[in-house]
Amino acid sequence: MQDRFADRSPSTDGPAFHGFAITTSDGTDLTEVTRALYVGGAGAVHVLMASGGDVTFANVAAGTVLPIRVQRVLATGTTATLVLGLV
């Protein structure tokens, strides 16, 4: 398979090049900071931003991509499901 963009460095304004399932946790950071979150099932998403800020996104619709850099998706306050980290 050819990847015409393999030699280019990823940027925060380009498309994601990797994704991973997120298990919410009040005490454990993600393995890497995201460039965005995909929310597969509607609900609230409580995150610890890369800056350290604590933010809850309420009423996130299923299928939404949140273009946010987060280090943790907290279990407490997150009701959304099927959350993926995009990097």
Q: Which pLDDT score, from 0 to 100, does residue 5 have?
A: 67
Give the burial string for 18-43 (b: 16+ CB within 10 Å, else e). eeeebebeeeeebeeebbbbbbeeeb
Provide the 3-class DSSP secondary structure of residue 77.
coil
> Dihedral through CA 27, CA 77, CA 75, CA 72, nearest 10?
-60
Q: Which pLDDT score, from 0 to 100, does residue 6 have?
A: 72
pLDDT digits (tens, 9 = 90+) for 28-80: 999 999 999 999 999 999 999 999 999 999 999 999 999 999 999 999 999 99
Higher pLDDT, 3 or 69: 69
Q: Which pLDDT score, from 0 to 100, does residue 16 have?
A: 87
Q: Which pLDDT score, from 0 to 100, does residue 3 have?
A: 66
